[in-house]
């Protein structure tokens, strides 16, 4: 046997071990799904958004100084997470391709994996209706464009950004994922708010509203007197200041969900 043949045999043996571990992991995942089915509220997504984000961040740290590329490792684990979710329950996705722009579709494919059923819709309203009526479990919409966030049903929450893994040339996520879900906090999150005032507010005015609470804000979109605002930091702490801001300003503030801050690699 040549040296390269011997090395390839060793690789094949390792692959067999990896396959066996995948099967072992999948059996455990199925048991987790059974527990979720028995304990969770009916209709609530099985997705654990906070755990997923923490896992991806952990994988990146573990591979960062290893031989195998860390950016490839986190992409692999994103697919593992999506595949595991399909073992727990149904997982289908609808995306909105505004003006026939394919970018949201392909970003969603990258996030969830090519194996997952993904439906394409022409407008945000149809995506939200699909999620609301249970036709799909997850909807993905571009952050800006149709101002869909103005009429997001209360029981549908934003739980993730797409993409979650940003390359060094990318500055921010472009779309948001939503479901009938209870979003989970991590140690580094973004809370999304709909702030409705008596007039159109500037970025500086919005920042001033939250400055006394030592929270950083960014205006993502606005329509009429409503504003889509992100708060960075610990989600639980940021959520607690909403009643105070409402009392201080008289403005209506609604939490639309929260998601882990994207991982920049």
Provide the H-helix boundaries in 45-114. Answer: 49-63, 70-88, 103-112
Task: Please name every residue paired with 216 in a beta bridge, in sequence order, or none if there are none.
Answer: 232
Q: Which residue has the tokens 């026939």?
A: 100
C-alpha dihedral sign at 188, 194, 200, 205: negative
Domain 3-184 is found in CATH 3.30.750.24: no
Q: Do domains 3-184 and 190-260 have the same CATH topology?
A: no
Question: Could you state, in order of their start, the residue ranges of all structural domains in the chain?
Answer: 3-184, 190-260
Number of residues written out for the chain = 265
In this structure, are residues 69 and 63 in contact, taking their beta carbons and an 8 Å threshold?
yes
pLDDT tens digits, 79-128 = 999 999 999 999 999 999 766 568 899 999 999 999 999 999 989 999 99
CA 46 to mean position of chain CA atoms: 13
* Overall pTM > 0.85: yes
Instruction: Check: CB of residue 221 under 8 Å from CB of residue 228.
Output: yes
Asked whether 210 and 249 are in contact (CB, 8 A), the reply is no
- Mean pLDDT per 10-residue interval, the chain, length 265 residues: 89 98 97 94 91 96 94 95 95 83 89 93 94 96 90 95 86 91 90 93 92 88 93 73 89 93 91
Q: What CATH number was assigned to the domain covering residues 190-260?
A: 3.30.70.260
């Amino acid at each position: 046997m040549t040296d390269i043949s011997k090395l390839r045999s060793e690789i094949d043996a390792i692959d067999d071990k990896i396959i066996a571990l995948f099967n072992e992991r999948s059996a455990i995942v199925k048991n987790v799904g059974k527990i979720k089915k028995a304990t969770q509220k009916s209709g609530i997504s099985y997705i654990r958004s906070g755990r997923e984000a923490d896992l991806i961040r952990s994988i990146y740290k573990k591979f960062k100084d290893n031989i195998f590329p860390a950016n490839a490792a986190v992409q692999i684990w994103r697919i593992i997470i999506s595949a595991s979710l399909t073992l727990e329950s149904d997982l289908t996705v609808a995306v909105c391709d505004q003006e026939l722009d394919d970018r949201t579709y392909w970003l969603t494919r990258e996030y969830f994996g090519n194996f997952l059923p993904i439906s394409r819709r022409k407008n945000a309203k149809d995506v939200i209706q699909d999620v609301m009526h249970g036709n799909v479990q997850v909807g993905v919409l571009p952050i800006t464009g149709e101002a869909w966030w103005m009429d997001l049903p209360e029981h549908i929450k934003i739980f993730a950004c797409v993409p979650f893994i940003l390359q060094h040339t990318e500055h921010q996520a472009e779309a948001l994922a939503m479901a009938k879900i209870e979003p989970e906090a991590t140690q580094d999150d973004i809370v999304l708010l709909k702030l409705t005032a008596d007039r159109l507010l500037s970025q500086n005015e919005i920042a001033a509203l939250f400055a006394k609470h030592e929270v950083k804000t960014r205006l993502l979109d606005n329509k009429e007197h409503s504003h889509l605002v992100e708060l960075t930091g610990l989600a639980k702490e940021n959520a607690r200041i909403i009643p105070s801001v409402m009392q201080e300003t008289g403005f209506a503030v609604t939490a639309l969900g929260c998601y882990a801050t994207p991982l920049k690699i």
